[in-house]
Amino acid sequence: MNAGGTGLVSVTNDEFEDESPDWSPDGTKIVFTLLTPDYHPDIWTIDVDGSNATNLKPDAEWETSPDWSPDGTKILFWSGEDYGR
């Protein structure tokens, strides 16, 4: 989206809820929480053009609230089995 609110483009195109987006420091990727209908949040990254969507931890844990480290080499997130319960 442009600063004036024009040029809005949807980066993700999934049927689930995407939350907590954070731009990478170099501006090429976005990390976010994808929340499925069964309330299982996972951490994903995606290129700003909508390509290369990647689930970073496809396991049984609950992951949410991602943030990039200042140098862009790490992603901090909350993880636990009891999220949302």
Predicted local confidence at residue 5, as pLDDT: 86
Considering its fold, how many domains does the chain have in total? 1
Predicted local confidence at residue 51, as pLDDT: 94
Parent domain of 52:
17-80
Q: Which residue has better confidence, 82 or 31?
A: 31
Is 66 a domain residue? Answer: yes
Is 11 a domain residue? Answer: no
Q: Which residue has better confidence, 19 or 61?
A: 19
- Cα 40 to Cα 34: distance, rounded to the nearest angstrom: 8
pLDDT band of residue 14 (cuts 50, 70, 90) is: confident
Is 3 a domain residue? Answer: no
Is 35 a domain residue? Answer: yes
**Lookup result for tokens 């949040």:** 41
Predicted local confidence at residue 82, as pLDDT: 56
Is 6 a domain residue? Answer: no
Report pTM.
0.82
- Cα 22 to Cα 41: distance, rounded to the nearest angstrom: 16
Q: Are 21 and 10 in contact (CB under 8 A)?
A: no
